[in-house]
Structure 1
Amino acid sequence: MQPVVLHFKSVYLNLSETFIDRLVRHHERYRPVVGTLHPRHYLDGLPVYAPSGLAAWRDRLLQQLNRTPRFLFAVCRREQPTVLHAHFGLDGYRLLGLARRTRLPLVVSFYGHDVSRLPDEPGWRRRYRRLAREGTRFIAATDFMRRQLVALGFPEEKIDVVRFGLDLRAFPFQPRTQAGLRLLMIGRLVEKKGHRTALEAVARLRAAGYAVELHCYGDGPLCAALQAEARRLGIAACVSFHGAVTNEVVRQTYYTHDVLLVPSQTAADGDQEGLPNVIIEGLAAGIPVVATRHAGIPELVVPEKTGLLIPERDAEALARAVVRLLETPALVERLSRAGRTAVEQRHSLTRMVRDTEAVYDAVRHSR
């Protein structure tokens, strides 16, 4: 009989959190069980537990107080998990009471804003110090994030780096031999994604005579402001905001566009990326990538090898990088092939699952 791992995330899952869904669905040696207060997406075929009625009201109140939702104790009695796995640091803290009462090892995965922005909110540095002491093991998505966790006081010897994994069969490689004029951005319309930089770069490219188009997929609070900015720059006719779309539509965009732009930046509130999942998917599919020297991005987008890197908030550098791709077909082909190879070597789904399950093995055998 396979040992059970109980995955917990308060909201399971947001549409963009495919990296969690991939892990949960592809365990090899552990049987996954999901606990959540707000069931949303990627639930089909999984054993999902969520409270209802008065219990849901009670547990959502406990969630707001950053305490363990009580329904999880019943889940543990029923499923007898051997490991607790919380996704994002906030939910890791909420499971400390469950780990203490059940004496189960607690693994916490961090992904981005829970390392860059959350610690600056009131009370969270104190809570993270407790999590660092009482949590069993912590998973960072990048080396950059591991260093951030160490700076926050998490013991280095309790941190493992497990990189996002991709089912490469779903992203067949289509080598590119030249770049075209259809530029692509995928992500929520929020400050850290850098859409304003992309709009300014498009305006510069159009002024220089390059008939580029920018296609943005994703929704968010900045939608109206970005549309207004496109009108102000005189490029509204060549910029399309397609809104939130399905994962299948996203997958197809890598094959119907010519250059993937990922101009991520540190937001005014400190919010940062981990490693944007779209970079892994795009490189796997073969589309050339222009991104910023931000957070964990340079660990995969190696300058002049697997992609092009520019400084944050530098529209001129972004425009110049696109021009290089448009005018240098040999560079496009080289980046396309090297990008796929890098994903195959470091970001396969099999490797992510096996590295994660090795963490489970370690915490079970150390108790």
Structure 2
Amino acid sequence: MPPRVLHFKSIYLNRSETFIDRLIRHLQRYDPIVATLFPKHYTENLPIYTPSGWWAWRRDCWLKQLNRTPRFLYGLCRRLQPALVHAHFGLDGYRLIGLARKTGLPLVVSFYGHDVSRLPDAAGWQRRYQRLALQGTRFIAATEAMKQQLLRLGFPETRIAVVRFGLDLHQFAFQARHQAGPRLLLVGRLVEKKGHAVALEAVARLHALGIEARLSCLGDGPLRNALKEKAQKLGIADRVLFYGEVTNEQVHDAYYTHDVLLVPSQTATDGDQEGLPNVLIEGLACGIPVIATRHAGIPELVQHESTGLLVPEGDAEALAAAILRLMETPGLVARLSYAGRLAVEQLHSLERMVGDVEAVYDDVLKCIP
């Protein structure tokens, strides 16, 4: 029987966290068990465990608020005997220190973005991360840039592995592009770090030049009303569509019905940053040309004029110029389209992600006396 891995995330899962779902469902040599307090999305056909009964759930939610191990996990480990525990996001990793200490199970923690950018600036979290760095067994960063952030937070380099998000490329057919039209696409929650406001300003600049451009914004969030008002003030309300929350299938279809994918990510005022936006990997796999920013781990996949175009964070003028350049340069569009797909095949295949994570598990279990 394959060794069991207990995967824990307080909320399993948010719609944007498809990368976690893909990993767990496609493990080859390890048997996944999923534990959570709040089952939400991507739970079908998985062994999902939650506290038994309302009182146990309330107790464990309270323990979560105190950043301690939910108690139901102890009984779960006794019954199912996992070989190791894998926590997803640093916050939940810290919560499982007590479980690892009392059970003797190795603790693997994956970091994905805001847990290494914004969270360490919150009260008490640098101290908590120092404890996690000492007591965690292995740490997984989604990008090289994120690994550097972990090093600055005091995590030991010898126990950090970089494992890039993986994509099932059979589900993202490549459609070569040979020209870029006016249909622009931006996918992501309507929050500051996604850069929607900059994209609106870029569309307004193109409009002022008499250039036709229409922007589809897929996703919802707290900035929806403010962004709609901004579009109105910029005089482009009729050129911007806010679709609200959409399904993964709708996002997938949008890659093929739009001409340019915009990923204008930026560091938010509270320090929040991306890891590597999943939409970027998906879009490149589908062949849509990408314009993104020099932000966090993005340049590790989007290399300027090779697999996409890069512009500075927060620079609407540069973003508008890059859009116009794609519209006017069909040869560049074709080159980026093919190179983007090849980069995803080389760096972000599902098989590579699963193999890299299972190599971490192997290394952890080899070290157990």
**Normalising to structure 1: TM-score of the pair?**
1.00
Give the Cα–Cα distance (whole angstroms) in 1 for the partners of residues 109 and 203 of structure 2. Answer: 40
Give the Cα–Cα distance (whole angstroms) in 2 for the partners of residues 356 and 208 of structure 1. Answer: 49
Aligned partner of 1:32 in structure 2 is 32
Deviations 1:156-187 (A, max 9, x none): 11100000000000000000000011000000
How many residue pairs align between the two structures? 367
1:97-246 superposed matches below 5 A: 97-246=98-247
Cα deviation, residue 11, structure 1: 0.4
Aligned partner of 2:342 in structure 1 is 341
Aligned partner of 2:14 in structure 1 is 14
Amino acid at match of 2:47: P
Give the Cα–Cα distance (whole angstroms) in 1 for the partners of residues 241 and 279 of structure 2. Answer: 18
Give the Cα–Cα distance (whole angstroms) in 2 for the partners of residues 30 and 75 of structure 1. Answer: 17
Cα deviation, residue 136, structure 1: 0.2
Cα deviation, residue 75, structure 1: 1.1
Deviations 1:23-67 (A, max 9, x none): 010000001000001110000000000113100000000000000
Give the Cα–Cα distance (whole angstroms) in 2 for the partners of residues 361 and 99 of structure 1. Answer: 18
Give the Cα–Cα distance (whole angstroms) in 2 for the partners of residues 357 and 78 of structure 1. Answer: 23
Amino acid at match of 1:68: T
SS in 1 for 2:244: coil
Aligned partner of 1:364 in structure 2 is 365
1:269-284 superposed matches below 5 A: 269-284=270-285
Cα deviation, residue 83, structure 1: 1.1
Give the Cα–Cα distance (whole angstroms) in 1 for the partners of residues 55 and 362 of structure 2. Answer: 37
Deviations 1:51-97 (A, max 9, x none): 13100000000000000000001111121100100000000000000
SS in 2 for 1:242: strand
Deviations 1:92-138 (A, max 9, x none): 00000000111010000000000000000000000000000000000
Give the Cα–Cα distance (whole angstroms) in 1 for the partners of residues 79 and 226 of structure 2. Answer: 49
Give the Cα–Cα distance (whole angstroms) in 2 for the partners of residues 95 and 354 of structure 1. Answer: 24
Amino acid at match of 1:109: S
**Normalising to structure 2: TM-score of the pair?**
0.99
Aligned partner of 2:262 in structure 1 is 261
Give the Cα–Cα distance (whole angstroms) in 1 for the partners of residues 175 and 224 of structure 2. Answer: 31
Give the Cα–Cα distance (whole angstroms) in 2 for the partners of residues 173 and 79 of structure 1. Answer: 42
* Runs of 4+ with >3 A deviation: none
Aligned partner of 1:87 in structure 2 is 88
Give the Cα–Cα distance (whole angstroms) in 2 for the partners of residues 22 and 232 of structure 1. Answer: 41
SS in 1 for 2:85: strand
Give the Cα–Cα distance (whole angstroms) in 2 for the partners of residues 71 and 245 of structure 1. Answer: 34
Amino acid at match of 1:329: P
Amino acid at match of 2:32: P
Give the Cα–Cα distance (whole angstroms) in 2 for the partners of residues 245 and 101 of structure 1. Answer: 42
Amino acid at match of 2:36: T
Q: Give the aligned CA root-mean-square deviation in angstroms.
A: 0.4
Aligned partner of 1:43 in structure 2 is 43
Give the Cα–Cα distance (whole angstroms) in 1 for the partners of residues 296 and 36 of structure 2. Answer: 29
Deviations 1:193-228 (A, max 9, x none): 000000000000111111110000000000000000
Aligned partner of 1:247 in structure 2 is 248
Give the Cα–Cα distance (whole angstroms) in 1 for the partners of residues 209 and 129 of structure 2. Answer: 50
SS in 1 for 2:292: strand
Give the Cα–Cα distance (whole angstroms) in 2 for the partners of residues 162 and 253 of structure 1. Answer: 27
